[in-house]
Structure 1
Amino acid sequence: MGTILLSRLNDFWKKDRLFSIPIFAQQMSRIRFLLIMRYLHFTSEMESEDPLFKIRSLIDYFNNKMVECYYPAAQLTLDESMVLWRGRLSFRQFIKNKRHKYGIKLYMLTEPDGLILKLRVYTGGKDLEVAGKGHAEKVVMDLLYKKINSGHEIYMDNFYNSFGLAKKLHDKKTYGTGTLRKNLKGNSF
């Protein structure tokens, strides 16, 4: 469903010749799919300080499973992505230059072909591990946690890259490539 874009969920089960994509109906009925989507819930906890408490276990499971079952090639990319979300959410972002202007911001470590190796949901200032001064550098170090000292090459844009980060990565046998913002503190020569 993420690859084949249709305007409504019900369109995936249409039998009209023009819309027919039989694989969805072969796997699961429309009613069953909608019921699963309606009742799917990921937590047994009550309220928590963590804004992601309902899906934290799923995100951690994904990140741990990728480390456990897949080791990437030397070249890695680091970027952010927006997941469309128009509902109410305390950490919903607005970024005017993105295709989906409103949504949930994800920081992702990927392979150049797009395979996601690790992700982190941006929750604003509520995420104490990466919030505050040096936010971008903390995000990079968090996403690279188990990939440091392995000779990887990291490609990133000017949001993350800085002279200090490049030096820190180089000292840990990890190579960083990307543009530097001249007006960022510590980047002028």
Structure 2
Amino acid sequence: MAEVEYDAEDTLDFDALLIASDEEEQGTTEDEVDEVLRRTESDGSEEEDSDNESTSSWSSDISPHDPWIFSGSCGPDDEVLSCQEPIDFFELFLNDEILDLIVKETKRYGTHCSEDFQETDSEEMRRFVGLCLQMGLVKLPRLRDYWSSRPGFGGHAVASKIMARNRFEELLKYLHLADNENFDGDRLYKIKRFVQLFNETAARLYSIGKELCAKGGYTVRIKIYAGKDPSRHELLADQVVLELMEGFLDEGRIVCTDNFYSSFGLAEKLISRRSHLVGTFRRNRKGIPKEIKETKLKRGQLCCKQKRNGVLVLKWRDKRDLYMISTKHDATVGTSQKPEVVDDYNEMKGFVDLSDQMASYTPFVRRTMKRNSRSPDIQDTLSSNTLAVDFYADASVQVCSFIRLAQIPTSVFLDVIHNAIPR
């Protein structure tokens, strides 16, 4: 039976990179980030520009550069607007097609591995997912403790009313998303179809507007890193951004990136596809004008240069020097006493942080012997998108609060157990 092999070293390094990149503003030094970068693919974030690039390509005459009118559609699908309760939103993502895939492949794998495996169905799988939601909301030391009636664990064995512990463990053991017999060598084969269905569903239910980092923290597409790809011709960082933006280019959209993904090369590629880049920038990127690097600033001061095609590199001094890149901004300072490019970046990044916050409300992770059991961390994203589409559905009356968002996973779980417990 074919099994997927993962390059553990590559994956661990990439995870470390993301952590370092996200935490840099919280005290991680750039030397520490450099060390993480050296442990990833050597060409992952290199810049094609040369340090010896002619200074004549940069100008001190700065102007805004936004020549494209956004031509895409934006807003929730009618399916979203017709939902009434949190469970309705959740079932938009955990829909029949996804449930059928999980049920079919779990049955296939379970019966292959054990003659005693009892086949499952969609209703039982919904109860299984409901218990997973509860385990994300209520933390207990061991899996079996959710079936305990001991006072120390609350004295209410809710799980036992939904599903026997042995049955839950059996489903968890044989949970599968693909037929192993058809393994095609793709490292992500075991979850590829599941991710594809999620991406199709997310794109159908909400059309992202001009800013790809949207209010509500909605995740419109997932791409999972699976180690170094020897057939790749693009730089890793550029390829990730461009692949995630497939279907969203050429319509005047804006993508926000952190300092690992931002580069002059990526900015040029996006401009050629009528799209904007706004992001933080690493101070040691090749191609940054020497004048920008060497200028000493006092707090609140800035310096910047711009290319003829609109690519702006800006250095602004706050508690430390902050480098930014943008293909649409000028050097205007807003009412916050920060450059507008910084304010806009912080706003867009805040939506990403909101998505992470919402996913944290349902962080069910049970480490098992099977590496791919944790891969549908996508369940967290299902929950996060449930909260986001609820936000969009109610945006017209502005009734979305963080307290309410935190309560939605609980509401979904209560609906699941209400339907599961015999009356």
Unaligned stretches of 5+ residues in structure 1 = 78-110
How many residues are treated as equivalent by the alignment?
153
Q: Deviations over 1:51-89 (max 9, x none)?
A: 122221111111122112222344334xxxxxxxxxxxx
1:134 paired to 2:255:
no
1:156 paired to 2:257:
yes
1:17-36 mapped onto 2 (5 Å cutoff): 17-20=151-154, 24-36=159-171
Task: Judge conservation of contact 1:154–1:177 (CA < 8 Å) in 2.
Answer: yes
Q: In angstroms, what is the RMSD of aligned CA positions?
A: 2.8
Distance in 1 (CA, whole Å) between partners of 2:275 and 2:152 is 51
Superposition deviation, residue 144 in structure 1: 1.0
Opposite residue 169 of structure 2, the aligned amino acid is: L
Task: Judge conservation of contact 2:140–2:153 (CA < 8 Å) in 1.
Answer: no
Structure 1 pair 19–72 and aligned structure 2 pair: CA distance change class (3 A):
farther
Quote the residue 1:188 is aligned against: 288
1:96-135 mapped onto 2 (5 Å cutoff): 111=214, 113-126=216-229, 128=231, 131-135=232-236
1:165-176 mapped onto 2 (5 Å cutoff): 165-176=266-277
Match of 2:245 among 140, 144, 147: 144
Structure 1 pair 33–165 and aligned structure 2 pair: CA distance change class (3 A):
same
Select the structure that is richer in strand: 1
TM-score, scaled to structure 2: 0.32
Sequence identity, in percent?
A: 31
Select the structure that is richer in helix: 2
Distance in 2 (CA, whole Å) between partners of 1:57 and 1:127 is 23
Task: Judge conservation of contact 2:203–2:220 (CA < 8 Å) in 1.
Answer: yes
Q: Deviations over 1:100-123 (max 9, x none)?
A: xxxxxxxxxxx4644322111211
Opposite residue 120 of structure 1, the aligned amino acid is: K
Structure 1 pair 155–4 and aligned structure 2 pair: CA distance change class (3 A):
farther
Task: Judge conservation of contact 2:187–2:226 (CA < 8 Å) in 1.
Answer: yes
Structure 1 pair 46–23 and aligned structure 2 pair: CA distance change class (3 A):
same
1:6-17 mapped onto 2 (5 Å cutoff): 6-17=140-151
Distance in 2 (CA, whole Å) between partners of 1:170 and 1:6 is 50
Distance in 2 (CA, whole Å) between partners of 1:152 and 1:6 is 44
Structure 1 pair 132–173 and aligned structure 2 pair: CA distance change class (3 A):
closer
In terms of Rg, which structure is larger? 2
Opposite residue 136 of structure 1, the aligned amino acid is: A
Superposition deviation, residue 167 in structure 1: 2.9
Opposite residue 33 of structure 1, the aligned amino acid is: F
Opposite residue 177 of structure 2, the aligned amino acid is: F
Distance in 2 (CA, whole Å) between partners of 1:74 and 1:11 is 47
Superposition deviation, residue 24 in structure 1: 4.4
